[in-house]
Structure 1
Amino acid sequence: MAKFTFNMPDVGEGVAEAEIVEWHVKVGDAVEEDQHLVDVMTDKATIDIESPVTGKVTEVAGELGDTIAVGSMLLVIEVEGEVEEEVAEETPAPAPEPDEAPEPEVKSEPAPEPAPAPAPSPEPSPTPAPVATADKVLASPAVRKRAKDLGIHLGEVKPAADGRVRHADLDQFLAYNAGGGFAAPGKTREDEAIKVIGLRKRIAQNMAASKRHIPHFTYVEECDVTELEALRANLNSARGQKPKLTMLPLMIAAITRLIPDFPMINARYDDEAGVVTRHGAVHLGMATQTDSGLIVPVIRNAESRNLWQLASEIGRLANAARDGSAKSEELSGSTLTITSLGPLGGVATTPVINRPEVAIIGPNRIIERPMFVTGPDGSERIEKRKLMNISISCDHRVVDGYDAASFIQEMKKLIETPVLLLAD
């Protein structure tokens, strides 16, 4: 037998280290060539590492969350071949001789006499201790346990005519004291310590860095999306084989139409070099919730895509992010991000900027409310309208509040007159 030391391979793209996010083998496991050994993460991309040999795992490099440098030992596999000298040293030490660790004599002491059995109790065992009250309360063990779980002193419950408290008496007590703190308690869960690793660790680091380095400010405006929703419904009714339109492609179309007039929104800030790069193309990050956490796939050149192309790309990237098939180039290089909680919505949000970008836009939940509407003749009437708040968070070092407010006001005009989105 011989030892094969498997070092952390070079996964390309200039990666110098990777984080262990899941081991699929442990010490003592037999492995086959090309068997999946471990998952490692580099810049939000998870990579499967496979075994180059067949053998038995004798050593692994670290635990979940540990960082392994490229070229350093990842694990050691014992393979068929010439035995190395170190192998003999790894064999378990022989058991200690009897004179080193003598076994105690089993019958060195006489067994103690068994204690006399207690007298039978009139109550079934086990029986909860009675609640201390001025007068002894008659109740079955089940009733006592239920009262204890509910935090009720039996002495406070009015019993039946025979003086015994029953379940029905507890029900009446609870009904009479509804709202007084006697609701059925929830189940208590055990404390659970979860190590922050993998994508969740990257999210934590990125969000902390964003809040630490960027002076955020958030601007929120209310928009009437009644006509926009009507347009979306009409387009979907005649879409044929095209993907179904959600509100997101319409929001993106409005954003990309305005970016040429507001280039400071579509930018990245290298604060170490002191350089702001205002990008011509809109590579739009799309915050996507997955089972592992938030991932931001990127819609390349969003400004050059129509509504149906945007809808198709949104669906493709969202599915790739959720099933783990998104490529590294699809998860980086965004110049602006949009984030939406979908049906959860919320009245308003204060999204955190995806550093080193300088802005992030968040459409919120659509709600219906009565509104005053002015007619062509100047008369006013009340109508039921669909309203939505739009939030934008900006880096105050490079984006002024006036610029952010002006951008959202122009976006409001497009949204409330949606025919402009389809005009050349």
Structure 2
Amino acid sequence: MGTHVIKMPDIGEGIAEVELSQWHVKVGDLVVEDQVLADVMTDKAMVDIPSPVHGKVIALGGQPGEVMAVGSVLISIEVEGAGNLKESAAPAAVKEAPVAPKVEAAVESKPAAVTAPRPAAVCQGPMVAREANERPLASPAVRKHALDLGIQLRLVRGSGPAGRVLHEDLEAYLAQGQSNASAPAAAAYVQRNDEEQIQVIGMRRKIAQRMQDATQRAAHFSYVEEIDVTAIEELRAHLNEKHGASRGKLTLLPFLVRALVVALRDFPQMNARYDDEAQVITRLGAVHVGVATQSDVGLMVPVVRHAEARSLWDSAAEISRLANAARNGKASRDELSGSTITLTSLGALGGIVSTPVLNLPEVAIVGVNKIVERPMVVKGQVVIRKMMNLSSSFDHRVVDGMDAALFIQAIRGLLEQPATLFVE
């Protein structure tokens, strides 16, 4: 038997060190050729480190969250034969989930191909008996879904990678009649003293760094405007009824993208990037709209390129395609970089007002709040209208307050008189 030592590979782009994000194996595991051993994160991409050999893991060279130099020992594998005395570096396979201008994308963790995850508890059907202080694996969306359904996640068996609880697991749990109501009523009043420490590494660390950098470097200011979206919603419903079956359903987002495109013709200073080190503002003719998208691994910003050249349905299809790719961890490097202005929305959870953080080096981000019906006075009469706020932020180093207000007022006018979106 011999030892095959795998070193941290040179990923290119002049990168001298990377962060070890996650191990997919542990000491004692049997691995096969091309099995993913670890994920590492650079400033621009999440990278898979596959095994070049068959063998048994005998040593790991670092811990998740550790920054490792290129060429340092990553992992040692016991193999048949003499092994690799020269200690060659492993090949690196870049996942199609690199860093967006705002945050980095990442692919959801996969369990080792040979070793099964250690079960946290004995499972039977959709129900599992975990320890009271054990936190089951689940995405934020699944956790909220469980909360809405009144389900204790620790009671649900996860069918995803490493036992992750999925939406369909919640449905299976309900189908078996195992709801939270069946638990003893007194369980809601049991004292808890458990604590959980979560290391900020990988994707979450990159998000934190980007947000901190944005708030420290840019002079943020926000502007909120109320918009009557009754007319645009009526138009959207009409178009969906007439063309939805053949062209696809329209959400509000493609209309907002169109409004941005038209408004930017008169406010080109908003469609810009600011290099604060070189003290140079670059205004761009192309409108590449970043659409902030929540995924299981964090916030990503896929980019609708050349929105100025797209129809409503073209924009709608591209937004849907990019959002699905981002949520599934399959968005490419190009799809997650190069935006010139960002659109962010929390959908039905949009609240009344928000203060979005700029997606540096951009100078403007437009935030969408939820639509609500309210009584409004129109021509002296009280009527019910659909109202929505736009909560937008700007870099005051580049954008003056009056220009920001006029820009959002222009978007308001376009959305309240939707025919003007299509008048050239």
Q: What SS is found at the alignment partner of 1:56?
A: strand
Map 1:4-403 → 2, pairs under 5 A: 4-43=4-43, 45-82=45-82, 185=189, 188=192, 190-239=194-243, 240-374=245-379, 380-403=380-403
Q: Deviations over 1:85-144 (max 9, x none)?
A: 9xxxxxxxxxxxxxxxxxxxxxxxxxxxxxxxxxxxxxxxxxxxxxxxxxxxxxxxxxxx
Pick the structure with greater CA Rg.
1
Shift of 1:335: 1.0
Tell me: CA distance 1:189–1:329, structure 2 relative to 1, closer, same or farther (3 Å). Answer: farther
Task: Tell whether the 8 Å contact from 1:44 to 1:331 is kept in structure 2 after alignment.
Answer: no
Q: Secondary structure at the match of 1:333?
A: coil
Q: Distance in 2 between matches of 1:304 and 1:84?
A: 54
Q: Deviations along 1:275-296, whole A, 9 cap, x unmatched? A: 1111111111111011111111
Deviation track 1:48-102 (CA, whole Å, cap 9, x = no partner) reads 22100112222212111122333332212222223899xxxxxxxxxxxxxxxxx
Q: Is the 8 A contact 1:336 1:360 kept in 2?
A: yes
Classify 1:29/1:331 alpha carbon distance in 2 versus 1 (closer, same or farther; 3 Å): same
Measured against aligned partners, the alpha-carbon deviations of 1:285-320 in whole angstroms (never above 9, x if no partner) come to 111011111111111111111110111011111111
Report how far residue 266 of structure 1 moved: 0.9
Q: Distance in 2 between matches of 1:253 and 1:204?
A: 31
In structure 1, the residue corresponding to 2:56 is in which secondary structure? Answer: strand
**8 A Cα contact 1:61 1:73, kept in partner:** yes
Indicate conservation of the 8 Å contact 1:44/1:202, yes or no.
no
Does structure 1 retain, via aligned residues, the 8 Å contact 2:4–2:83?
Answer: no
Output the CA distance in 2 between the equivalents of 1:234 and 1:84: 67
Q: Determine helix, strand or coil for the equivalent of 1:264.
A: helix
Using the TM superposition, give the Cα deviation of residue 18 of structure 1 relative to its aligned residue in structure 2, in angstroms: 2.7
Q: How many angstroms apart in 1 are the aligned matches of 2:267 and 2:415? A: 17
Q: For the residues of structure 1 that align with 2:296 and 2:53, how far apart are their CA atoms?
A: 33
2-structure distance, mates of 1:348, 1:421: 25
Q: Given that residues 4 and 84 in structure 2 are in contact (C-alpha distance below 8 angstroms), is that contact kept between their aligned partners in structure 1?
A: no
Q: Offset of 1:206 from its aligned partner?
A: 0.3
Give % identity: 56
Q: CA RMSD in A?
A: 2.1
Matching residue's letter, 2:292: A
Q: CA offsets per residue over residues 193-247 of structure 1, 9 Å max, x none?
A: 0011111111100000111111100011111100010000001111232221111
Paired residues of 2:37 and 2:51 also in contact (CA < 8 A): yes
Letter in 1 for 2:29: D
| Structure 1: runs of 5+ lacking an equivalent | 86-183, 375-379
Cα pair distance change 1:83/1:332, threshold 3 Å: closer
Distance 1:50 1:213, change over 3 A: same
Change in Cα spacing, 1:84 to 1:293, as seen in structure 2 (3 Å) is: closer
Aligned 8 A contact 1:267 1:335 in 2: yes
Tell me which moved more, 295-304 or 237-246: 237-246
Aligned equivalents of 1:303 and 1:189: distance in 2? 55
Corresponding residue of 2:149: none
**Is the partner of 2:270 in helix, strand or coil?**
coil
CA distance in 1, matches of 2:209, 2:341: 19
Distance in structure 1 (CA, Å) of the matches to 2:255 and 2:222: 22
Q: What code does the residue aligned with 1:281 have?
A: A
Provide the rounded CA distance (Å) in 2 between the counterparts of 1:297 and 1:202. Answer: 16
Could you list the per-position Cα deviations for residues 365-398 of structure 1 after superposition, in whole angstroms to 9, with x for gaps in the alignment?
A: 1111111111xxxxx2111111111111000000
Q: Distance in 2 between matches of 1:38 and 1:84?
A: 20
Shift of 1:32: 1.3
The more displaced of 332-341 and 26-35 is 26-35
Partner of 2:131: none
Change (3 A) 1:24 1:402: same
Q: 2-side partners of 1:84 and 1:242: how far apart?
A: 57
| 1:287–1:84 distance in 2 versus 1, CA, 3 Å | closer
Q: Report the TM-score when normalising by structure 1.
A: 0.73
Preserved contact between residue 45 and residue 327 of structure 1 (Cα < 8 Å): no
Q: Measure how far apart 1:15 and its partner are.
A: 4.1
1:224–1:84: structure 2 CA closer, same or farther, 3 Å change rule? Answer: closer
- Structure 1 SS opposite 2:374: strand
Q: TM-score, length-normalised on structure 2?
A: 0.73
Cα distance in 2, alignment partners of residues 17 and 273 from structure 1: 26
Partners of 2:12 and 2:248 lie apart in 1 by 36
